[in-house]
Structure 1
């Protein structure tokens, strides 16, 4: 896509002059792999789950086991118990609603920045029919009720149902939100907004049931940052991890309006600059001065689980998922629905994990011929997945018949 087509008509762009620097796709991939902890494991000799998650710009955890694996595979000697310890005992991570309103693990130390930024992201188009939506006034009542109910408690969803309806009115409990095989009460459409405003996060499970609580119970003195500096800080982190990127890429990552994202980029002024990706001829933005090519070519085979941050946040899709990878590893253009095999920073296969007792079997479907070095690294990656899970792992090469998110 030519640079002039990256933004919608009449949308401001930062630093409109032509790109002064060029990066190859290999340069881009190598920079991202190194920063994401995928070129080499992070934290040799010292566990740093929070630092690892910060470098990823959050770990998608709608399926918590996949989020744990995303973090652990980036760490030297990372274990599932270590990630869970950082989340539930040391409280260095928090499980909450992050980008796109989806469940993420975020560093506790960055929660003020995340909540300040996410609360300021404009809502996208309404997903519910008009009669099912909360009005702006009802939304404020629900968020206030959630904050009050969780201030000194950990509540299951059903307990929070009762508390919110009691504080607001029967309308909040109307079953109008399609969910799985039934309907959720009306108020739950504000669940992720309450998290973005810093009124809600996940507590420890109570048996098989998730609980919600207030971040203020977990983080003494917690308060969201002001919107403007928080948004700028979040954009800087995103560009460091996944640049070069366009306003459209950032908007997609946040599920935000494109014009709003373009205006945020434009507000950065001299803090960002254009670079051009040689293979596509398209321009993206990086932090000012962050234009050096990678010192080494991207190398290595990595197994990334469902909704890994690298495949969800990194763009452009046509270079990250080339050729058959776009057909096999994307679902309706959406990344993350399949665990992927990353070779030299580019999606080159899919894989599937099947667990049985204390054993697991990883089937890999390559989309290109594997080199001897790839085969050695695949064996190492399979062993690392097994070690993370505390299970004996074996592998097989062949077609995978299960569908997305199976």
Structure 2
């Protein structure tokens, strides 16, 4: 059984924070599976704390050589990663980044990505340059949403400069010019995380990477998953049992959010109109994600309805 101190020291050792790593900057970035890089200077300090005899030019040169990239990766934020890790892991992140892009609507995502691709093929662009150009092609859209969609849906790297920390305040982005792994392996990602941050749990991997969230799912009345365990807390919190199982032993339909029952649902039909009514268990409820899946389910359940609608009740 690991004590808290044992766990602390094991993690510090994997992070090269007990003894600085003897090697080059690309190797240590690889060993850490990337460093947070929302701002230019922090990753330099992160490497300095972990790499023996580190000098600023080491990371600066690696960025200009393209062996290390600054790109949108874990949790849809900018990280420094090796080019090899970008190629291996960026495809695994594609579904999560696409889900993040869906927080906005009002545009054709494929068309926006294609338009941005044409512009970025001409030369690198800052997003302050790219957004107005996209708005010309997609008038009426939210320019921030257009830019966000490009960042989430297009594999891009920030272009390094000769600034002190290798990037200006308003950096340009461009395709990194490397191929992505056509057969990415989730197991490799988990192994790399454990090597850098372990010992750890699946929840730790999810918190770090933003991967492995359970998708929104709609279970019907009396679904066998709800009924299939004596202890249902793996799916349904005790506090909500009374909201799912009625006094006459009816088991209501439930919506799963991140794998757990987060509310009940029912379909109301009035003539040619079908409405999905969702009753969340808590005020904090991801309405947009639930609505997207819910409307797909409603269209499947009521294919002959002329209109499909959704209402989230208080």
Counterparts in 2 of 1:253-332, with a 5 A limit?
253-256=208-211, 258-259=213-214
Distance 1:76 1:207, change over 3 A: closer
Conserved 8 A contact 1:92-1:108: yes
Counterparts in 2 of 1:158-307, with a 5 A limit?
158-166=128-136, 168-172=137-141, 174-175=142-143, 185-195=144-154, 198=155, 200-205=156-161, 208-216=169-177, 222-226=178-182, 229-256=184-211, 258-259=213-214
Aligned to 2:79: 104
Aligned to 1:63: 39
Aligned to 1:149: 119
Conserved 8 A contact 2:101-2:153: no
Q: In structure 1, how many angstroms separate the alpha carbons of the residues matched to 2:47 and 2:113? A: 31
Following superposition, the deviation at residue 23 of structure 1 comes to 3.0
Q: In structure 2, how many angstroms separate the alpha carbons of the residues matched to 1:171 and 1:230? A: 40
Q: In structure 2, how many angstroms separate the alpha carbons of the residues matched to 1:223 and 1:126? A: 23
Following superposition, the deviation at residue 225 of structure 1 comes to 1.7
The question of 1:138 aligning with 2:108 is answered yes
Aligned to 1:402: none
Q: In structure 1, how many angstroms separate the alpha carbons of the residues matched to 2:214 and 2:168? A: 44
Q: Secondary structure at the match of 1:245?
A: coil
Conserved 8 A contact 1:94-1:107: yes
Counterparts in 2 of 1:119-138, with a 5 A limit?
119-121=94-96, 133-134=104-105, 138=108
Q: In structure 2, how many angstroms separate the alpha carbons of the residues matched to 1:214 and 1:145? A: 14
Following superposition, the deviation at residue 253 of structure 1 comes to 1.6
| Greater relative contact order, per chain length (Cα 8 Å cut-off, separation 6+) | 1
Aligned to 1:283: none
Following superposition, the deviation at residue 143 of structure 1 comes to 2.1
* 1:266-311 C-alpha deviation (Å, 9 max, x unpaired): xxxxxxxxxxxxxxxxxxxxxxxxxxxxxxxxxxxxxxxxxxxxxx
Count of residue pairs the alignment pairs up: 210
Q: Secondary structure at the match of 2:5?
A: helix
Distance 1:124 1:155, change over 3 A: closer
Aligned to 2:312: none
Aligned to 2:5: 26
Report which of the two structures shows the higher radius of gyration computed on alpha carbons.
2
Of 13, 19, 27, the match for 1:40: 19
Q: Secondary structure at the match of 1:62?
A: coil
- Normalising by structure 1, report the TM-score: 0.47
* Stretch moving more, 140-149 or 75-84: 140-149
- Normalising by structure 2, report the TM-score: 0.59
Q: In structure 2, how many angstroms separate the alpha carbons of the residues matched to 1:119 and 1:193? A: 8
Aligned-residue Cα RMSD (Å) equals 2.6
Distance 1:248 1:124, change over 3 A: farther
Unaligned runs of 5+ in 1: 1-21, 176-184, 217-221, 261-406
* 1:159-214 C-alpha deviation (Å, 9 max, x unpaired): 21244334x42134x35xxxxxxxxx32022143134xx2x211135865311111
Unaligned runs of 5+ in 2: 162-166, 216-314
Q: In structure 2, how many angstroms separate the alpha carbons of the residues matched to 1:58 and 1:101? A: 13
